[in-house]
Amino acid sequence: MQEPKLIDIHCHLDFPDFNQDRDEVIKRTLDAGVWFINIGVDLETSQKSIELAEKYDGVWLAVGLHPTDRAGGEFDLEKYRELARHPKVVAIGECGLDYYRNQEARNPKSKIRNKQIKIFKQQIELALEVGKPLMIHCRDAHDEVLDIVSSFKLHASRLCGDIHFFSGTWEQAQKYLEMGFSLSFDGPITFSDNYDETIKNMPFDKIMAETDSPFAAPAPYRGKRNEPLYVKEVVKKIAAVRGVSFEEAAEQTTKNAINFFGLE
Could you read off the pLDDT of 231-245 as tens digits, one per residue? 999 999 999 999 999
- Residue 72 has what pLDDT? 56
Calpha distance 190→238 (Å, rounded)? 9
pTM exceeds cut of 0.75 = yes
CB 183 within 8 A of CB 163: yes
Could you read off the pLDDT of 60-99 as tens digits, one per residue? 999 999 998 554 578 999 999 999 999 999 999 999 999 9
pLDDT band at 102 (very low <50, low <70, confident <90, very high): confident
**Which residues in 4-20 are b (16+ Cβ under 10 Å) and which e?**
bebbbbbbbbbbebbee
Could you read off the pLDDT of 164-220 as tens digits, one per residue? 999 999 999 999 999 999 999 999 999 999 999 999 999 999 999 999 999 999 999
- Residue 245 has what pLDDT? 98
Taking each helix axis from N to C terminus, what angle separates 43-55 and 77-84, rounded to the nearest 10 degrees?
10
- Stretch 120-126: mean pLDDT: 97
Q: What percent of the chain has pLDDT over 70?
A: 98
Please report the domains of the chain, with CATH numbers, ordered by start residue: 6-261 (3.20.20.140)
